[in-house]
Amino acid sequence: MALERVAEDPPAAYDTTMIQKSRFAPSPTGYLHLGNARTALFAWLAARHDGGHFLLRIEDTDRERSPQQYEDALLEDLRWLGLDWDEGPDCGGDFGPYRQMERLGIYGELYQRLLDAHLAYPCYCTPEMLAAEREAQRAAGRAPRYSGRCRELDAAARAELEALGRQPSLRFRVASTGRLRVDDLIWGEREYSLEDLGDFVIRRSDGSPAFFFANAVDDALMGVDLVLRGEDHLSNTPRQILILQALGMKAPTYGHLPLLLGSDGQPLSKRHGAASLRDLRAEGFLPEAVRNYLARLGHHYGEADGRLLTDEELRREFRLDAIGRAPAHFDLAQLEHWQAQAVQSSTTEQLAQWLAPVLDESLSPAERLAFVELIRPNIRFPAQARDWLQRFVRDPEPDEEALDVLRETPEAFWMVAAATFEAENGDWKDWVTALQEASGRRGRALFQPLRAALTGRLHGPELAGWCRLLGAERCRQRLSQAGRRARVAV
């Protein structure tokens, strides 16, 4: 890709217009963190709201921590969340490559432009020298910044240092005076002193590009006009705008999302219930639930905030000006609320497909659909469906509450229950009516023993449907087993 291939190349500017292209640019150094998943979702919603493009770029310059497995997992998790992209490492596009390690030649040409314009210079300071410099500045009560030690080295001095084996980094030359104003979509106008920034590294001593540099120029070269990212990147923005101004490139509109924290205000981790999107997938959360929850973390949907929204509604109602500044807190109970709504709003066929890995092969297709519909009100996760399936296909082992009820129910009740069941040919409505009259029991006194015998629990699916699906013979067996249990209890 030649340097002149720039998506937009007006004089340097900082612009806010209708979104044409947003992006998500993760580093594949682990599984997708929920905070980054929210950022990706917001960027995708912003682009799709305006009918714009969404771009995926892989920032893989940390080679030791960026194995292919994490990139593969990243793409898989984003697709599971329901995101798609118009340009990316797997589908290409007009402004690729879309992996930074495949763009080193592009960066090299840009570095040379800055060197030729005396806007960058090689720095031979060792890590030890820089650490000592920072320590001295802190001791003197000053904020750490590069002193400019290598700023004016002549060719002879550079050659001497290189003869000693020093591999230079490359620093961007920042003006020693002046201020830079940045208008952030979320935080408003912020002003930075150039003196406080100091000259910063844009290429590491091993030749790899620094984040400040590659991230900024890739956005410009790829025509990105909206960058949403975490609040922790706020301090990067002035440096990146300076780079783009020096190269005559247009800066995108930046919006820095408030951080996503745990319910206790600490950085989100597994102890809060989940840390990565993969954790939620493993727990059995539906993508619809996760999308609806993440879309509301730091963003509000007004009157629609209380109901599960379709993808079309999430896109249509998403507004950048509805993003708040307060940190968002991950609350597992809230996510489970959206999970319950997602389960209830799914079709029977969708639920059957979701639960396919835990459904017994012995069930016919029709039985599967009937069973899924029967247990729908009582499940949120596949593990719960698995438990109900075991209680359906095998004689259930009563839990403690159910066992107490079975022990307290006299044998005479089970004899009457079995007799009336036979007399009414297993018809649920007629059987219950006959059993009420014969036993004198009503309400919980009647239904709790039946539920305990037929399901092994005191709460669960609607009993009439359970019995119909279970079949008369298996109902007889379970009633008989409850009677035997009563005799043993006596």
SS3 84: coil
> Do the beta carbons of residue 213 and residue 243 sit within 8 Å?
yes
Alpha-carbon span 60 to 70, nearest angstrom:
10
Six-digit token string for 223: 């025509």
Six-digit token string for 82: 């329901």
Pairing outcome for strands 169-172 and 120-123:
antiparallel
Give the number of C-alpha atoms closer than 13 A to the C-alpha of residue 242, restricted to the C-beta side: 28
Give the number of C-alpha atoms closer than 13 A to the C-alpha of residue 375, restricted to the C-beta side: 25
Whole-Å CA distances, 128 to 79, 92, 133, 204, 468: 44, 42, 9, 15, 77
Amino acid identity of residue 373, one-letter, is E
Q: What is the DSSP string of 367-434?
A: HHHHHHHHHGGG-SSHHHHHHHHHHHHSPPPP-HHHHHHHHHS-HHHHHHHHHHHHHTTT-HHHHHHH
> Do the beta carbons of residue 467 and residue 474 sit within 8 Å?
no
Q: Residue holding tokens 């002003």?
A: 191
Alpha-carbon span 41 to 85, nearest angstrom:
11
Q: Any catalytic annotation for residue 270?
A: yes
| DSSP class of 456 | S
Whole-Å CA distances, 213 to 15, 17, 108, 172, 365: 20, 24, 11, 9, 56
475 annotated as ligand-binding = no
Closest CA to 294 of 274, 321, 264, 267: 274
> Do the beta carbons of residue 88 and residue 56 sit within 8 Å?
yes
123 annotated as ligand-binding = yes
Q: What is the DSSP string of 156-203?
A: HHHHHHHHTTPPPEEEE---SS-EEEEEETTTEEEEEEHHHH--EEEE
> Do the beta carbons of residue 150 and residue 136 sit within 8 Å?
no
91 annotated as ligand-binding = no
Alpha-carbon span 316 to 17, nearest angstrom:
18
Burial class (CB in 10 A: 0-12, 13-18, 19+), 164: exposed
125 annotated as ligand-binding = yes
Six-digit token string for 158: 């550079």
Q: In what order do the strands lie in the sheet with 120-123?
A: 120-123, 169-172, 200-203
21 annotated as ligand-binding = no
| Binding-site residues from annotation for ATP | 270
| Binding-site residues from annotation | 123, 125, 150, 152, 270
| Binding-site residues from annotation for Zn(2+) | 123, 125, 150, 152
Instruction: List the catalytic residues.
Output: 270
